């Protein structure tokens, strides 16, 4: 269970979070480099198609400790990626991100 000091909150990704998300993804998945511009372009493409981006971050203070992103791969199929920093796993952050992504 998280202590008050470690309490997290979940927020939608924004222009202000792309750099932090990219750094977080590169840290958690070093074999899958991503950059802020690619994240922003993906969200802008969704908005242009009138589809709200489905990406959220979990933060403790100002530190990103979790990230989720969902996207449609076919008319009736979706993919969802959930990442949680290793030292924050087992605290319900992944489940919280899943709830927001629904």
Set out the domains of the chain in order of their start, with CATH numbers: 9-101 (3.40.630.30)
Q: What is the pLDDT of residue 73?
A: 73
The kind and range of the H/E element at 20 are: helix 18-28
pLDDT at 1 over 70: no
pTM > 0.85: no
Rounded-to-integer distance, Cα 76 and Cα 70, Å: 13
**Tokens 């690619």 sit at which residue?**
38
Residue ranges of alpha helices (H) inside 31-81 are 36-48
Cβ pair 87, 94 in contact under 8 A? no
pLDDT, tens digit, for every residue of 26-49? 999 999 889 999 999 988 888 888
- CB burial string 9-23: b at 16+ within 10 A, e below: ebeebeeebbebbbe
């Amino acid at each position: 269970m998280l202590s008050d000091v470690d309490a997290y909150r979940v927020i939608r990704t924004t222009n202000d979070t792309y750099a932090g998300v990219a750094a977080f993804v590169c840290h958690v998945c070093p074999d899958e480099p991503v950059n802020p511009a690619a994240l922003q372009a993906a969200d802008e493409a969704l908005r242009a198609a009138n589809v709200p981006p489905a990406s959220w971050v979990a933060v403790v203070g100002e530190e990103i400790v979790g990230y989720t992103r969902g996207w449609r791969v076919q008319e009736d199929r979706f993919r969802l990626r959930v990442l949680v920093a290793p030292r924050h796993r087992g605290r319900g952050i992944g489940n919280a991100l899943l709830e927001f992504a629904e």
